[in-house]
Structure 1
């Protein structure tokens, strides 16, 4: 085989190796906060309302530092991120809600005891370092830290956006599919079981649990093995 073909194969091999490295990296660049003034260990694109959450869990003092970002329906609307310590929906949520007041962004706390009662007041857990900002892209960001139970490994989080604020009171949000889907678990601690004590998953279970990350990694590795075999046979 000519030197030109050999060089092409080597370049393709390097490309496949770089693809594996990319799939293994934790890259939050696509979810980068516009302000970018704080750094967090984790980031995730939430499954509803075009929103993201950046967060760092500190097990030493059982606290969660977070930055929630979402675009309100209107420029004078509001965004909210909440923890529900007692249930899996909106009722019972302890919320951080941000909106513009006299041209400046503010964050207020709301104890949502029911769907018909949204009362501003102290939450059932400590919160600190609360602030908010808005950006030209239409998104608002809530920054803050919340105290979580020392034994907590996950939280029920709820997030929402609303159309406006009247006399300091947030207007009701819509009840569209996206609004109703804005709830889920936030895993604080990842549990890794020893391989020896874990039963082997069935092929179907493995297929359901694996994401595109594993598929990309396997495909890239097969490419590399094939290329190495070709190089050896030359």
Structure 2
């Protein structure tokens, strides 16, 4: 809603990039900006999250479920002032971060920048399953000895997942399962109501 957007609408991006929608994410100070293209089922995204220069941030989509395991992620970090983006699939909750192709199409390869104490990751993704409703995840953590180290496993780092509808912009957080269940049962009952209407 409007509250979710208030903090992110004023954001500006390099290269004259603009995005139609944005959500201030509930944790880690992160925001997601995107434009959804219904014609080909893709979304141009910009994910921005605060971090020290010696940290990393990541954003992704989990096509197979909710939570981290199974997520296809973009991870931005820097070394010697050069910012790079790694794409990897988190096969477990303690993954090896090998640079690998994602399970969905990425028509425009990801890029990232670091400015003003925050990373911004830019990418275009083909939304998996050709549906606008996706389980998204995001994270932030430290770099140690030039390598991406595990993020904290407490507090906000455990709440950084939500289902997002790229068409409507509505989202439901993954941290409160009771709220999530209520939303699910609501949508099921509205679905049944609309089916009855069609009969």
- TM-score if structure 1 supplies the norm length? 0.65
Match of 2:164 among 176, 186, 189: 186
Q: Does 1:65 align with 2:65?
A: no
Q: Which has the larger radius of gyration?
A: 1
The DSSP-based 3-state class of the residue aligned with 1:119 is: coil
- CA RMSD between the two structures: 2.5
2:46–2:123 CA contact under 8 A, matched in 1? yes
1:230 counterpart residue number? none
1:31/1:47 CA distance change after superposition, 3 Å: farther
Q: Tell me how far apart the structure 1 counterparts of residues 151 and 66 of structure 2 sit (CA, whole Å).
A: 18
Q: Does 1:89 align with 2:67?
A: yes
Match of 2:148 among 170, 195, 206: 170
Structure 1: segments with no counterpart, 5+ residues = 1-22, 192-208, 210-234
Match of 2:111 among 115, 125, 131: 131
The DSSP-based 3-state class of the residue aligned with 2:157 is: helix
Q: Tell me how far apart the structure 1 counterparts of residues 41 and 54 of structure 2 sit (CA, whole Å).
A: 34
1:29/1:116 CA distance change after superposition, 3 Å: closer
Map 1:8-157; keep pairs closer than 5 Å. 30-33=9-12, 35=14, 37-72=16-51, 74-120=52-98, 121-127=100-106, 128-136=108-116, 138-149=117-128, 151-157=130-136
Aligned residues: 166
Q: Tell me how far apart the structure 2 counterparts of residues 29 and 66 of structure 1 sit (CA, whole Å).
A: 13
Structure 2: segments with no counterpart, 5+ residues = 170-185, 187-199
1:45/1:29 CA distance change after superposition, 3 Å: closer
Higher percent of residues as helix: 1
